[in-house]
């Protein structure tokens, strides 16, 4: 079976001939939303008579929720509510990508198989804590696969050399898929996504990029759009990006989505006291956080959080300076300067960033609002 899809062999130069055609005053707007799995992304495109200047210029739209696990067939129309707009790196200016929230016809959040609209609750919580100026950054790890599910660049039989060669690596024998990584990075920058870096990860064919710091709900909006752009770039190359937290069984690292957190008081002089206070709160709600750190209530993270491969045990809470085997890592520089941020290393690669940031704000910040 081929490790790349047939679509990757289509003539991209011919495609460019059509994409370069003038489109007059019209604008193509692609609406993007999270489906009923809580992980998948869906999209469809409409023509507008002029370029929208903000989300306020975008009309609501509908889709068939019975085909995405978000409604029943007898009452299937769901509402797409535009919440954030980006430039389109695939169709180019003036065209747009639009992230949407999904509501039922009653204008309540979509809940069918899984709760797939965590943004609604997250936004309400972030409004309550905005006076604390919460900053979040998220580190998205992913693994490149062929369409047959085999890791991209791995031998067809057997395994590549053991881990140790691949982290931040260079060379055809150890850095697999850099073309995709570079194209994704540039596409995110063009779109206006707050991507701040990228690197090869510990397992071969595994990569990471970082989004943020952003204030409040913005980091989750940008991370979801960056995921859409990643899948769309991979589509052009004929490969698959998986966010499976443990794509390969054995002595291989899993994939997480670490979250970096701070408030204004943590960033100020002697902010370490507020960081330690937040970590103490997190220690009391370990099980609650594990339940929201992957879409399946912790079942996906069980395969990853084993206490090995730079992870803590899913059963225990721990914290330490520069400790990548802890639940919470305080960066060494933060420990020295006594202010800054902390990193929660528990969220899985396939987590919902709305659910993660919301839970973090509830645990660490809501009490401070009322003090």
117-135 average pLDDT score: 94
| 71 & 158 share domain | no
For 7-44, the pLDDT digits (tens) are 788 888 898 899 999 999 999 999 999 999 999 999 99
Domain total of the chain: 2
Maximum C-alpha span of the chain = 62
| 66 & 139 share domain | no
Q: Residue 37: which domain range?
A: 20-114
Helix ranges (H only) for 87-162 are 119-129
Helix ranges (H only) for the chain are 12-19, 119-129, 178-191, 218-237, 264-267, 272-284, 286-292, 299-302, 332-337, 353-364, 366-370
Instruction: Assess whether the previous peptide bond of 246 is cis (omega < 30° from 0).
Output: no
| 152 & 42 share domain | no
Distance CA(236)–CA(96), nearest Å, equals 18
Q: Which pLDDT score is estimated for 112? A: 45
| 178 & 96 share domain | no
260-277 average pLDDT score: 97
Distance CA(245)–CA(226), nearest Å, equals 18
| 200 & 345 share domain | yes
For 198-225, the pLDDT digits (tens) are 999 999 999 999 999 999 999 999 999 9
127-151 average pLDDT score: 96
| 68 & 197 share domain | no
Looking at residue 27, which CATH number applies to its domain?
3.10.20.70
Share of the chain above pLDDT 70, in %: 95
* Three-state SS at 234: helix
Looking at residue 154, which CATH number applies to its domain?
3.30.590.10
For residue 152, give every residue at least 6 positions away whose Cβ sits within 8 Å of its Cβ, in sequence order, or none: 3, 144, 145, 146, 176, 177, 205, 239
Residue that terminates a domain, selected from 82, 114, 146: 114
12 or 55: which leads in pLDDT = 55
* Three-state SS at 354: helix
| 178 & 66 share domain | no
The answer to whether 102 touches 79, Cβ cutoff 8 Å, is yes
- Mean pLDDT lowest among 73-77, 98-102, 108-112, 317-321: 108-112
Specify if 240 maps to a domain: yes
Q: Which pLDDT score is estimated for 325? A: 87
Specify if 11 maps to a domain: no
Residue that terminates a domain, selected from 114, 135, 168: 114
- Mean pLDDT lowest among 80-94, 111-125, 220-234, 267-281: 111-125
Q: What is the pTM of this model?
A: 0.95
| 98 & 173 share domain | no
Q: How far is CA 90 from the centre of its chain?
A: 20
């Amino acid at each position: 079976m081929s490790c790349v899809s047939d679509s990757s062999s289509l003539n991209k130069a011919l495609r460019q001939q059509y994409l370069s055609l003038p489109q007059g005053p019209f604008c193509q707007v692609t609406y993007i939303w999270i489906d009923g799995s809580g992980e998948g992304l869906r999209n469809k495109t409409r023509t507008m008579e002029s370029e929208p200047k903000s989300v306020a210029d975008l009309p609501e739209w509908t889709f068939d929720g019975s085909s995405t696990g978000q409604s029943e067939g007898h009452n299937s129309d769901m509402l797409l509510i535009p919440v954030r707009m980006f430039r389109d790196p695939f169709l180019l200016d003036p065209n747009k990508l639009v992230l949407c929230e999904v509501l039922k016809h009653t204008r309540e959040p979509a809940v069918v198989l899984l709760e797939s609209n965590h943004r609604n609750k997250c936004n309400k919580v972030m409004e309550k804590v905005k006076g604390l100026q919460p900053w979040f950054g998220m580190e998205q790890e992913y693994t490149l696969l062929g369409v047959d599910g085999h890791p991209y660049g791995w031998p067809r039989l057997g395994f590549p050399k053991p881990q140790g060669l691949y982290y931040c690596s260079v060379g055809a024998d150890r850095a697999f898929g850099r073309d995709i990584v570079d194209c994704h990075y540039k596409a995110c920058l063009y779109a206006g996504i707050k991507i701040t870096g990228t690197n090869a990860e510990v397992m071969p064919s595994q990569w990471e990029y970082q989004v943020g710091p952003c204030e409040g709900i913005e980091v989750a909006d940008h991370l979801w759009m960056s995921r859409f752009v990643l899948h769309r770039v991979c589509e052009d190359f004929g490969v698959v990006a998986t966010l499976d937290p443990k794509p390969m069984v054995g002595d291989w690292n899993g994939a997480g989505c670490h979250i970096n957190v701070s408030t204004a008081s943590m960033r100020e002089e002697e902010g370490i006291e507020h960081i330690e206070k937040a970590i103490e709160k997190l220690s009391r709600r370990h099980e609650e956080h594990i339940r929201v750190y992957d879409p399946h209530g912790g079942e996906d993270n069980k395969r990853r959080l084993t206490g090995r491969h730079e992870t803590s045990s899913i059963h225990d809470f721990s914290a330490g300076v520069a400790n990548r085997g802890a639940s919470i890592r305080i960066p060494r520089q933060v420990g020295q300067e006594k202010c800054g941020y902390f990193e929660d290393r528990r969220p899985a690669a396939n987590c919902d960033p709305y659910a993660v940031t919301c839970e973090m704000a509830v645990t660490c910040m809501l009490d401070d609002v009322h003090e």
